[in-house]
A and B are shown apart, each in its own frame.
Chain A
Amino acid sequence: RKEVEQDPGPFNVPEGATVAFNCTYSNSASQSFFWYRQDCRKEPKLLMSVYSSGNEDGRFTAQLNRASQYISLLIRDSKLSDSATYLCVVNGTPNQAGTALIFGKGTTLSVSS
């Protein structure tokens, strides 16, 4: 089983649609979870952290289910500018000064007018 698995996509949706991405992770000891956004040929940028209680940031809602080792991202009222690849990210083995991140393969979203 891969460390972080995501829906393969691509997701092609019209503007205004609601779209959900799913992700599972294999390491039950993982403690930090994130969704990153990556535009073509650019570095990943943090979209939001994911907390056990679930969290919302505007049109974006992230959920975490530790028992199922499952993470989700919901995007409401999709905009053209939401078109990107969304990466599910989990912390790796921590060391004293930081921790490398384990990335999912990413799910590509294309929002059309």
Chain B
Amino acid sequence: GAVVSQHPSWVICKSGTSVKIECRSLDFQATTMFWYRQFPKQSLMLMATSNEGSKATYEQGVEKDKFLINHASLTLSTLTVTSAHPEDSSFYICSANTGALRFSEAFFGQGTRLTVV
């Protein structure tokens, strides 16, 4: 099946620094990828929709200047958490549909556990 690879799987950073998370579709082209965030004991919440070659679409309440998304190719989307603070510590995960069908199965990356100290 389709594979989505996310890197890094975990990262610890100092408050005020920026962290970049990569999401790659390994055997299919993904014109759209989705970024989610999951706090402990909470559901996955959609942060933004990453569109290849155009600006990302952010969900209400998500700061676009803080969570920079770049989707420069059909197989790579990046999420950069800028000036990270402890409250940004969370599990970040990307997903992509294979695109063959609009409601096809979503494939998830392995997730990135971010801890800001």
Contact = CB atoms under 8 A, between A and B. Distances in A.
Contacts of B106: 46, 98, 101
Nearest to B4: A43
* Residue with the greatest number of chain B CB neighbours at <10 A, chosen from A43, A92, A101, A105: A43
Contacts of A46: 105-106
Interface stretch (B14-22, B62-70, B82-90, B92-100): B92-100
A42 interface: yes
Contacts of B104: 98
B42 A43 contact: no
B103 A42 contact: no
Contacts of A34: 105
A106 B96 contact: no
B110 A43 contact: yes
B32 A98 contact: yes
A1 interface: no
B49 A95 contact: yes
B60 interface: no
B111 to A, nearest CB: 5
Interface of A: 4, 31-32, 34, 41-46, 49, 87, 91-92, 94-106
17 contacts: A41-B91, A41-B111, A44-B44, A49-B105, A87-B43, A87-B44, A91-B103, A95-B49, A96-B102, A97-B97, A97-B99, A98-B97, A99-B102, A100-B34, A103-B44, A105-B42, A106-B43
